[in-house]
Chains A and B, each alone.
Chain A
Amino acid sequence: MNDLMSNLSLGFSVAFSLQGLWYCFIGVTLGTFVGVLPGIGALAAIALLLPLTFGLEATHALIMLAGIYYGSNYGGSTASILLNLPGSPSSAVTCLDGYPMAQHGRAGVALFITAIASFVGSIIGMIIMGIFSPPLAALAMSFSGPDFFALMVLGLVAASMLSSGSPLRGIAMIGLGLILGLVGRDLHSGLLRFSYGVDELYEGLPLVAVALGIFGLPEVIRNAGKIMPRKLSARDITFRSMVPTKDDWQKSRGAMLRGTGLGSFFGALPGTGGLLAAFMSYAMEKRVAKDPSRFGNGAIEGIAGPEAANNAAVQTAFIPTLTLGIPGDVIMAIMMGAMIIHGIQPGAAVITAHPDLFWGLLVSFLIGNFLLLLLNIPLIGLWVRMLSIPYSVLYPFIIAFICIGVYSVNNSVTDLYVLLFFGVLGCLMTYLRFEPAPLVLGLILGPMLEENLRRTLMLHRGDYTVFLTRPISGTFLALAFLIVVFTLWAAFRSRSIRRAARNSAAAE
């Protein structure tokens, strides 16, 4: 307890320093900005700013980059509600009931409740991170090769099976990601694999270029031409229009807490995250509601739950990154890259070796979330006005910024070719309805997965049973197995229900 107090006071001293506050403010403001605008997300913004943080202290750099990440989640709901267009991927669910609310003239209430839900989710997620990270990091010290391997298998299985699309396509994308992860130097032999004489691929495919190619470019290309400029007036969103009714409060309170629970869990599990948690929360609210038919027509629980869920997930996503060195998604992977560049090796030692970084970051989340509340309630009119920037002006800029961001990470033209290649692949995948997230996760975790598998087999002289006999790895593998069984069972059941329905329809 005493420890916690002294750690927290260290965190406060770091986060409340003038610089700490400044970079936190920059991060969350920028995050809201890119979150509000559809087509550009936290990923592009972080990649673009990463090279600019080289001169900063590691803690300040991370405070700012993390601010962009969770700030974008607040902003993402604004476009969902007003334009029926998610500003960031995890706000897609908010469109379902947020846009109908706006059509019924309740846009103000929707914006207000999403801001409150985001705040509740974030703060609880942050507290969970503060309480669970130190013991988990202590436990992680006893993690060995098989445990890391099993945890990554669990993450990959969860990402493919529980994703919003079809599990089969998810597995295919993970497989492709794992294959792409083979490119570069093989750690054990030192030989280059699949680099075809391109020395720049020595360290593997450049993650920022791949991620922006596959997420960023198709997003812009898909939206270009589709989005018609809409008349939005900031004056519509008055303070008075934002006040929720007593009924709104009552309905959303439980939804927020349930969403936070789901979000905290899926955020901490590598491979899943905000989008999945938001979908789960939406499904759960629909199930517990007395009258599910309201959903899709502006049910306030349908925005409160998912928004709380995706924001909680963003906070707890830091847990595996900071305690185990396993990034749960692409943004965390880039954040980990930023730590490595600043000479901090992510993993079990971060909390003890760099307490100022861990606790400073944690306290900055608190400050950041209060700032976001300010930015998203009193200043909402500002962001609404920004949505009326014509896309013909905005999109060329976004593409230019993506290119600058990719180039500036390594000062390498090769990275731009990689960006182009994966941009085309990403468009193709969008067209064929393959999700990009599992592919990128496979690419991130692939090399770590292979390394730990081979290392384990070396340490245990080729004995595969070690994965099942060690308690930690055995538990993770059992969980992964359960997820597979559950998915198959759910698929089987829905098919038999459909068949039964068809049969009974035919009988009539």
Chain B
Amino acid sequence: MNDPIFKLTRRKSLALAGAAILSSVAALPALAQDYPSRTISFVCAFPAGSGADVLVRYFAQAVSEVAGATVIVENKAGAAGNIAAEYTARADPDGHTVYLHAGSSTAMNYHLWNNPPIDPRSDLRGVAAINQQPFYIVVGADSPHQTIEDLNAYLREAGDNASYATSATSGRVLGAAYANALGVNPVEVQYRTGTDALPDIVSLAVDFAVSDPVQTMVNAREGRTRTLATGAGTRMQVAPDIPTLAEVGLEIDQIGWWAAWVPAGTPDDVVMKLNGFFREVLEREETQTFLASMGGDTWIGTPEEVDAMMVRSVDEAQYLVELADLPKN
């Protein structure tokens, strides 16, 4: 400890304190040339350690490398993401508070509350897209239904004797849209998580299930379930062999999508700079492999594309919420 660098003299500490005051004063106006001027917070709507948290932390780490700034993850769990979204919308619009979440469920939430705390179209500003990941129609490995056509034929015949498992709001609305397009009325059985539903899917207690992308990939790999179709409008790069429901004549195009947002009113140049950071991370092969492991395709998009997607999703969500007959809180 005799190294002179470690000797903190009175003069040095005064100088340090002065520098700190100066830099914090300089940080007040959000100008792109000195952005990021302090720690960036990535807001995550799920608890620390959860599957979604892993994704947010991956980007926090990668963006921190690219931007050369410290990025921390703030977990604001609860109310299906409303708490985190509202927290972001009320933060200073200087680009230091960034919300990473599924835009599809943010749009859905707007219609699930009688007094939604924010309007995602006007209170949040899109920064960058992240990925697209659909839910899938799956059956147990021992199910007699080999293809989506088999399942469709069975469901038309069985009527309300058939049943299916859902978990998560996205799963519920895809299930409702599928049944509606097919003109059938099977019984919906809900589960808290995809894992909860697994025993009943495997034992064929339910005829099929609407499964989230992560569970679909894992269970197919382990031979527990068979994936019959994707809810997306076009085939996914991550699962090129899985047909879409559109291919069998059902008009369904539902895709979950992740993106990053900042509070509305964040200056253009800050948004563009942040978009550049995300773009650089998303172009890495490592990132695309990581996103594929979560069951989705990488999506590189501009802020305008994210905003446009949100407007589209909010419109669609209204129709879907009515279709699935989801009540409002």
Contacts and interface: CB of A to CB of B under 8 A. Distances in A.
Contacts of A410: 47, 77-78
Contact of A189 (B78, B80, B202, B327): B327
A406 B329 CA distance: 27
A341 B47 contact: yes
SS class, residues of chain A in contact with chain B: loop
Interface stretch (A18-26, A71-79, A196-204, A397-405): A196-204
Interface string A182-217: 000001111110000001101100000000000000
Interface stretch (A138-146, A278-286, A367-375): A138-146
A191 B329 contact: yes
Interface in B163-211: 163, 169, 172, 187-193, 195-196, 198-200, 202-203, 205-206
Nearest to B321: A190
Interface stretch (B49-57, B92-100, B267-275): B49-57
Interface stretch (A84-92, A104-112, A342-350, A482-490): A342-350
B203 A202 contact: no
A459 interface: yes
B195 A190 contact: no
Interface in B249-275: none
B82 A199 contact: yes
Contact of A459 (B74, B195, B200): B200
Nearest to A202: B79
Interface residues on B, range: 35 or more
A11 B23 CA distance: 52
A199 B79 contact: yes
B20 interface: no
A188 B47 CA distance: 23
B83 interface: yes
A144 B199 contact: yes
Contacts of B187: 458-459, 461
A143 B83 CA distance: 36
Contacts of A458: 163, 187-189
A388 interface: no
Contacts of B189: 455, 458-459
Interface in B139-170: 163, 169
B112 A190 contact: yes
Contacts of B196: 345, 347
A343 B51 CA distance: 6
A136 B195 CA distance: 18
Contact of B50 (A51, A140, A199, A341): A341
Which residue, B51, B117, B189, B202, has most C-beta atoms of chain A within 10 A? B189
B192 A190 contact: no
A164 interface: no
Contacts of A343: 49-51, 54
B206 A459 contact: yes
A193 to B, nearest CB: 10
B48 interface: yes
B326 interface: yes
Contacts of A54: 48-49
Nearest to B325: A189
B254 to A, nearest CB: 18
B79 A200 contact: yes
B125 interface: no
B64 interface: no
Contacts, number: 82
B205 A144 contact: yes
Contacts of B192: 187, 451
A384 to B, nearest CB: 38
Contacts of B195: 345, 347, 349
Contacts of B77: 203, 410
Contacts of B112: 190
Name the prevailing secondary structure of the B interface residues: mixed
A190 B327 contact: yes
Nearest to A143: B199
Nearest to B115: A197
Given A199-B83, A202-B78, A459-B205, A348 B199 contact: yes
B76 interface: yes
Contacts of B288: none
B75 interface: yes
A191 B328 CA distance: 7
Interface in B53-80: 54, 74-80
A411 interface: yes
A412 interface: yes
B82 A141 contact: no
Given A54-B48, A199-B78, A459 B199 contact: no
A120 to B, nearest CB: 36
Contacts of A190: 112, 169, 172, 326-327, 329
A85 to B, nearest CB: 37
Nearest to B187: A458
A141 B202 contact: yes
| Max chain B Cβ within 10 angstroms of own Cβ: one of A140, A187, A202, A349 | A202
Interface in A299-357: 340-343, 345, 347-349
Nearest to A448: B192
Nearest to B199: A141
Given A191-B329, A199-B82, A458-B163, A342 B191 contact: no
A192 B203 contact: no
B203 A142 contact: yes
Contacts of B206: 459
Which of B83, B187, B195 has the most A CB atoms < 10 Å from its CB? B195
Q: Which 6 A-B pairs have the closest CB atoms?
A: A345-B195, A341-B49, A199-B79, A54-B48, A202-B79, A192-B329
23 contacts: A51-B48, A54-B48, A141-B202, A144-B203, A190-B329, A191-B327, A199-B79, A199-B83, A200-B78, A200-B79, A200-B83, A202-B79, A341-B48, A341-B49, A343-B51, A345-B193, A345-B195, A348-B199, A410-B77, A458-B188, A458-B189, A459-B205, A461-B187
Interface of B: 47-51, 54, 74-80, 82-83, 112, 117, 163, 169, 172, 187-193, 195-196, 198-200, 202-203, 205-206, 326-327, 329
Interface of A: 51, 54, 140-145, 187-192, 199-200, 202-203, 340-343, 345, 347-349, 410-412, 451, 455, 458-459, 461
Given A144-B200, A343-B50, A459-B200, 19 more contacts: A144-B199, A187-B191, A188-B190, A190-B327, A191-B327, A199-B82, A200-B78, A200-B83, A202-B80, A203-B77, A203-B78, A341-B50, A342-B49, A343-B49, A411-B74, A455-B189, A455-B191, A459-B187, A459-B206
